[in-house]
Amino acid sequence: MQKSNIIEELDALTEHWSQKILAEANGQQFKIAKGIGPTNWHKHDDQDELFIIFDGEMTIQLRTGDIVLAKGEMLTVPKGVEHRPVAENEVKFLIVGINITSTKEGGKPNSPAETSSSSPIP
């Protein structure tokens, strides 16, 4: 067992819209990320996706309308629902989802090569 400081881990991230897995429990991954700007539209056919905002603000765009999330708020995007996270300013957040994603590239916009400790935003 090893503890993690989520705030310190978020501060150490260097690439936007990439994730770092902090923990796994009961088939779920707990991944931190930070972002700025828009991601690409995408959906996950095999999982719900839970976003928890630690700092900043993020809009989850849905085809039916936008949901704005601020620090301390969370939202679950149900499986199969097309969505696009967007952040006008830098946002730091935690994502919870199952180990295997249906969309390996997720909604991550085109960017430089990823580091081995990060995985694309689902």
Name every residue whose Cβ is closer than 8 Å to that of residue 27 and which is 6 or more positions away in sequence. Answer: 98, 99
Q: What is the CATH number of domain 6-102?
A: 2.60.120.10
CB 107 within 8 A of CB 121: yes
The two structure tokens encoding residue 55:
């700092």
Instruction: Tokens 């039916």: give the residue.
Output: 64
The two structure tokens encoding residue 36:
């700025």
Question: Stretch 83-95: mean pLDDT, rounded?
Answer: 97
Question: By percentage, how much of the chain surpasses pLDDT 70?
Answer: 84
CB 106 within 8 A of CB 45: no
Amino acid identity of residue 40, one-letter, is N
Question: Stretch 2-29: mean pLDDT, rounded?
Answer: 93
Break the chain into its structural domains and give their ranges.
Answer: 6-102
pLDDT of 8:
96
Q: Summarize pLDDT for 52-74 with one digit per residue, the tens.
A: 999 999 999 999 999 999 999 99
Amino acid identity of residue 25, one-letter, is A
Q: Is the confidence at residue 116, as pLDDT, over 50?
A: no
The two structure tokens encoding residue 74:
């969370």
pLDDT of 115:
33
pLDDT of 77:
96
Phi, psi dihedral angles at 12 (to 5 degrees): -80, -15
Residue 64, CB half-sphere, CA atoms under 13 Å: how many? Answer: 3
pLDDT of 1:
86
Question: Stretch 75-86: mean pLDDT, rounded?
Answer: 96
